[in-house]
Chain A
Amino acid sequence: MPHITNVMICTCTNCISNSALDIRDSLESEIKRRELEDDVLVVPTGASGLCVNGPILIVQPEGIFYQHLKTKDIPNLVEEHFLKGRPVKSLMYVPPGQDSPIPELRSIPFFKDQRLIALRNRGLIDPDSIDEYIARDGYKALAKVVTSMKPEAVIKEISDSGLRGRGGAGFPTGRKWESRRKDPRTPKYVVCNADEGDPGAFMDRSIIEADPHSVIEGMAIGAYAVGASSGYVYLRMEYPLAVKRMQLSIEKAREYGLLGEDILGLGFDFDLQIFKGAGAFVCGETTALVASIEGKIPEPRQRPPRTTLWEKPVVINNVETWANVPVIVNWGAKWFSQIGTETSKGTKVFSLAGNINNAGLVEVPMGITLREIVYNIGGGIPKGKQFKAVQTGGPSGGFIPASLLDLRVDYEQLDAAGSMMGSGGMVVMDENTCMVEMARYFVDFTNDESCGKCTSCREGSLALLQILQRICRGEGREGDVELLEELAEAIKDASQCGLGQSLSNPVLSSLKHFREEYEEHVKNKRCPAGVCKALITFDIDKEKCTGCRLCAKKCPQDAITGEAKEPHVIDQEKCIKCGVCVDVCKFEAVSIT
């Protein structure tokens, strides 16, 4: 069994002269005395860089740093840290001129459970510097495949790693490459799908902004494996910084001979260009994407036959999928496949947004629970409010309620919960979120973005939207909920592409988990979350109101009246239910019913 904790003790000349070996012996005997040998392993290492503060211990995986150790400190250290799990602050690294140590980055919950593969260089390198990318093993994987691997071997490595597409559907990447490799038609193409249209999603933008060369290198490896000589990065125009960094990086790579003819002097030719997308959501769908590159109307086509670009074979993968490729080549399929769950290997990048304390970009191993993401990494819900649901998969995904917070994040588990992995948008919703309104929001989005080719999607989404709108307006009719359900299923069955096939998911999953909320709107004309304006009124509690006049001053409609120091009242005729009074009241005197 592997040890839970590794204690790295620096045994460089410097530290040895500071009695590092005595410390090591003392550690080992204390660990033995406490019967912790199976849990804690002492590992002698080379110079840690901070040896002026020696002897030094670094405790992994927490990364806690102890310095200036004396043998007499060891019994207490072993007892407190390894037995009781309480790191000893007094022995920790204290930055110069400091009274108390600042925490170790990896001990902070936001960073602790993250594991960076696709984002391995985030925040570490200057994305505009190809040299800094190279210094972190950049382009070594490309050199490795071109010098020493057959294309088939590259594909086998990717297949064995278990890598699946990060753009939504989770198709096995190796299998996709294999089929394109076998296609006899030439030339072949590789494409990076950086269209990223899901509301609330910003993973792909961040990867390109942070580390454009990781995508370029991945694509070059893919091109070598399938036999392609040119490629496109389909990048949406609304990401100007990503476009700029990608453009600069492509030029730099060309200058270095890492793109273009005779790459690395090894006779492999591959070049890359950016195709700027104009921001239509449907263009992220593969057949629409290729139509867009071909200069045609970006309408999805029937599949099979397999998607082609100018009737030639094309591999289309998502940004994050490509960014994983060099790491798999460098570290091996076996290493990669040890991370994650049975069916979903590696990590996934999520953009964490909505009602969450730590909004941001997180990369976590597959199999982590939603609870860990929301509470440990995300730091929970602001203002101590209740968690209501998390939305994954964007407009094609669904809502996952609190009862499923312990769900392990992988492709299958999310599907089974009525949602999907999608590309990695994760929007957290608190108790003040109306699920009917949220479903309406997403259907409004897809209705807007439907390309209009299939009647079921074009008209069906409109019909869904109209029903949802009237429920939110308090005009829901008996039977509307059933009608929504029937319509949603029909749209799923009758639409050609993923947009239409999945646009019902927000409706169906909110119905599945929050049906009573729909019933309240329709039958009792109530919005339990206090969101739908037609169904709520704002009132001032006479007991709580101190007559401070703040709400009256802030009300844009001048709907609030009352004397100073006397309870105020809201004129319901004038009130537009904007909620400003609720936000400004310091005494929680304004209630929504």
Chain B
Amino acid sequence: MSKIKPEDLDSIGEKIKRTMLLREGSCRVKIIVHMGTCGIAAGARNVMKALTEEIEKADAKDVQLTISSCAGLCSNEPMVTIEQKDQPAVKYVDLNDEKAREIFSRHVMGGKIMSEYALAAGSERTL
């Protein structure tokens, strides 16, 4: 990456927004594992590992696995957010590797939200 100019901020932003919002591109679902210190301490690495394995096993090329930070509710980590095209994001709480695998097969691949493990849908109020 070469050094950027002020006007480059918008184009970088646009490019990334497209993949972040899943409007375009090959990605159908984005899985975010919340990996703050709290999440990691509660077992987020196992969740991450399980999801990586499942994606490989299913050869799911349209699923993007990424990380983010603590989602705020540290007492209910590990947490995972699942974003799908044209749908509010779903947050899952108190996960372990088994639950993560279940969510992968039923929600990510099967399109069925698992209300047993889900906390809520949507996003927080920012600014």
Contacts and interface: CB of A to CB of B under 8 A. Distances in A.
A102 B120 contact: yes
B91 A257 contact: no
Interface in A208-254: 209-211, 239, 241-242
A104 interface: yes
B110 interface: yes
A591 interface: no
Contacts of A108: 119-120
Contact of A127 (B69, B113, B121): B69
B115 A359 contact: no
B117 to A, nearest CB: 10
A452 interface: no
Interface stretch (A30-38, A111-119, A569-577): A111-119
B71 A123 contact: yes
B34 A140 contact: no
Nearest to B17: A135
Contacts of A547: none
A264 B4 CA distance: 6
Given A134-B9, A205-B37, A360-B73, A96 B81 contact: no
Contacts of B75: 357-360
A562 interface: no
Interface stretch (B52-60, B82-90, B95-103): B82-90
Interface in A106-142: 106-108, 110-111, 114-117, 119-120, 122-129, 131-132, 134-140
Contacts of A116: 124-127
A53 to B, nearest CB: 9
Contacts of A327: 127
Contact of A105 (B111, B112, B121): B121
B113 A65 contact: no
A107 B125 CA distance: 11
A171 interface: no
A209 B72 contact: no
Contacts of A127: 67-69
A50 B6 CA distance: 33
Interface string B13-36: 111110010000000000010101
Given A52-B86, A256-B4, A110 B70 contact: no
Contact of A241 (B40, B71, B125): B40
B82 to A, nearest CB: 10
B69 A103 contact: no
A376 to B, nearest CB: 14
A248 to B, nearest CB: 13
B70 A210 contact: yes
A267 interface: no
A422 B107 CA distance: 43
A125 B72 contact: no
- Taking residues whose C-beta sits less than 8 angstroms from the other chain, chain B's interface range is 35 or more
B93 to A, nearest CB: 11
Given A134-B9, A135-B12, A206-B70, A104 B113 contact: no
Nearest to A351: B74
A255 B32 contact: no
Nearest to A356: B75
Contacts of B38: 202, 360
A457 interface: no
Q: Which one of A104, A124, A211 has the greatest number of beta carbons of chain B within 10 Å?
A: A124
A265 interface: yes
A138 B113 CA distance: 32
Prevailing SS type, chain A contact patch: loop
B120 A122 contact: no
A50 B122 contact: no
Contacts of A110: 72-73
A210 B68 contact: yes
B68 A107 contact: no
B126 to A, nearest CB: 4
Given A137-B13, A360-B73, A95 B113 contact: yes
A257 B12 CA distance: 14
Interface in A260-284: 262, 264-266
Contacts of A242: 37
B6 A114 contact: no
A61 B68 CA distance: 26
Given A104-B122, A105-B121, A359 B74 contact: yes
A107 B120 contact: yes
Nearest to A140: B9
Contacts of A266: 6
Contacts of B125: 61, 106, 111, 114-116
Given A97-B110, A143-B6, A104 B120 contact: yes
Contact of A135 (B13, B91, B122, B127): B13
A50 B86 contact: yes
A139 B72 CA distance: 24
Contact of A265 (B5, B88, B112, B122): B5
Nearest to B121: A102
A50 B67 contact: no
B124 A206 contact: no
A122 B122 contact: no
Contact of A124 (B68, B73, B115): B68
Interface of A: 49-50, 52, 61, 63, 65, 93, 95-98, 100, 102-108, 110-111, 114-117, 119-120, 122-129, 131-132, 134-140, 143, 147, 202, 205-206, 209-211, 239, 241-242, 255-258, 262, 264-266, 327, 331, 357-362
19 contacts: A93-B121, A95-B87, A96-B111, A96-B113, A97-B110, A102-B119, A106-B123, A119-B72, A124-B68, A126-B66, A126-B67, A131-B15, A138-B13, A206-B37, A241-B36, A256-B1, A257-B3, A265-B3, A265-B5
Given A125-B20, A331-B127, 12 more contacts: A102-B120, A106-B122, A117-B126, A122-B71, A123-B70, A123-B72, A123-B124, A135-B16, A137-B13, A147-B6, A210-B70, A256-B4
In the A-B complex, the 3 residue pairs with the closest CB atoms: A257-B3, A210-B69, A97-B112
Interface of B: 1-6, 9, 12-17, 20, 32, 34, 36-38, 40, 66-76, 81, 86-91, 110-113, 115, 118-127
